Structure 1
Amino acid sequence: MSDLRVSDSITVDAPPSVVFAILADPTQHARIDGSGSVGSVIQAPERITGTGQTFTVRMKLFGVPYLIRNRVVEFEPDRLIAWRHFTANRWRYELTATADGGTTVTEAFDMSRADRLTTAVVRAARFPERNREGIAGTLQRLKQAAEADAKKAAGQA
């Protein structure tokens, strides 16, 4: 079913390495979060460097705070990063270099691997729709952050 995966893309005027540096640093996730649910990081490596690594984040849902531990399940430097928590749902970012030195970023919320109960709960809570809105906001914020970081790096070069 098509509602098992929601995604959107944006083109960023920054190279994949700059975009990926933000995504691979869990402490920057609140900076780019467009959903309003991501808070501060409790535990994380300084930079994600491969699958199996975990990071724990303060979150809130419907105003209720909670902690969530994420595990990196896909990782290709400057190209792909994805994580999941206790469900099989994945948050995935795929980066593609553009001819002009920028990056097309596709963010997806993928619940196709989840069991039936999790899928039913996710649908009942309208997460596919909520995540579609959050993805659009996150991509805009990621674009702004990456372009600012690229300009800053160019000014220091």
Structure 2
Amino acid sequence: MAEENVSATLTIAVPASTVFAVLADPATHSAIDGTGWVREPVDRALLTEVGQLFRMDMCYGEGYRVINKVQVLEPPRVVGWFTGQEKEDGELEFGGWNWRYDLRPLGPCDTEVTLSYDWSAVPSFIRDRGIRFPPFPPDHLVNSLHHLAALAKASWLVAGSQ
């Protein structure tokens, strides 16, 4: 693959603020995930600032834990994070790949959402390990967007009934 990123876009019939609220809650990430690898959030605080760390338990082969660092957060338009690991000595190591959601309101109740996975900053010592990027078929991004749409619609309906 010549490109070092993949993305998918879906229009969701929900306001951008509702979509963003779902994305800013780590407790929803396992339900959004299109790969089935994301399990439970270790850190459950809502994402509120650049630099914030949040850990997720994962399952791909043997279980493991990742640490994410919020890279961009502009409610209700953009949220993105780098993914890495916490070493045994407590040092954080990020691999150079990131996830990003860009939200574009198309009116009061429609939002175009683009999910991107970018691995252009992965250093050679990681690439030399033979890790394939992306480590999943690109259609997993589309799956994630459809999961996000279902969660955002449910959240919006619940909020509207209160």
- Give the match for residue 37 of structure 1: 37
- Which runs of no fewer than 5 residues in structure 2 stay unpaired? 84-93
Local SS of the residue matching 1:130: coil
Deviation at residue 100 of structure 1 after TM alignment = 5.1
Instruction: Report whether the alignment pairs 1:154 with 2:143.
Output: no
Residues 1-150 of structure 1 aligned to structure 2 (within 5 Å): 2-45=2-45, 47-61=46-60, 63-85=61-83, 86-99=94-107, 101-121=109-129, 124-128=130-134, 130-150=136-156
- Structure 1 residues 81, 119: CA separation in 2 closer, same or farther (over 3 Å shift)? farther
Matched length: 152
- Which runs of no fewer than 5 residues in structure 1 stay unpaired? none
CA distance in 2 between partners of 1:116 and 1:130 (Å):
20
CA distance in 1 between partners of 2:135 and 2:43 (Å):
29
Deviation at residue 125 of structure 1 after TM alignment = 4.0
- Structure 1 residues 155, 79: CA separation in 2 closer, same or farther (over 3 Å shift)? same
CA distance in 1 between partners of 2:132 and 2:8 (Å):
17
Query: More strand per residue: 1 or 2?
Result: 2
CA distance in 2 between partners of 1:67 and 1:100 (Å):
38
CA distance in 1 between partners of 2:62 and 2:145 (Å):
24
**Partners of 2:115 and 2:145 within 8 A in 1:** yes
Q: TM-score by structure 1 length? A: 0.89
CA distance in 2 between partners of 1:152 and 1:135 (Å):
26
| One-letter amino acid of the structure 2 residue matched with residue 114 of structure 1 | V
- Structure 1 residues 14, 3: CA separation in 2 closer, same or farther (over 3 Å shift)? same
Q: TM-score by structure 2 length? A: 0.86
Query: More helix per residue: 1 or 2?
Result: 1
CA distance in 2 between partners of 1:143 and 1:120 (Å):
37
Report % sequence identity: 34
Deviation at residue 132 of structure 1 after TM alignment = 1.3
- Structure 1 residues 28, 99: CA separation in 2 closer, same or farther (over 3 Å shift)? same
**For 1:26-69, what per-residue CA distance to the aligned partner results, in whole angstroms no more than 9, with x for missing partners?**
11101211110000011242x111100011110012x2100111
CA distance in 2 between partners of 1:30 and 1:36 (Å):
7
Which shows bigger deviation, 1-10 or 105-114? Answer: 1-10
Deviation at residue 101 of structure 1 after TM alignment = 2.2
Local SS of the residue matching 1:143: helix
Give the aligned CA root-mean-square deviation in angstroms. 1.7
CA distance in 1 between partners of 2:137 and 2:114 (Å):
14
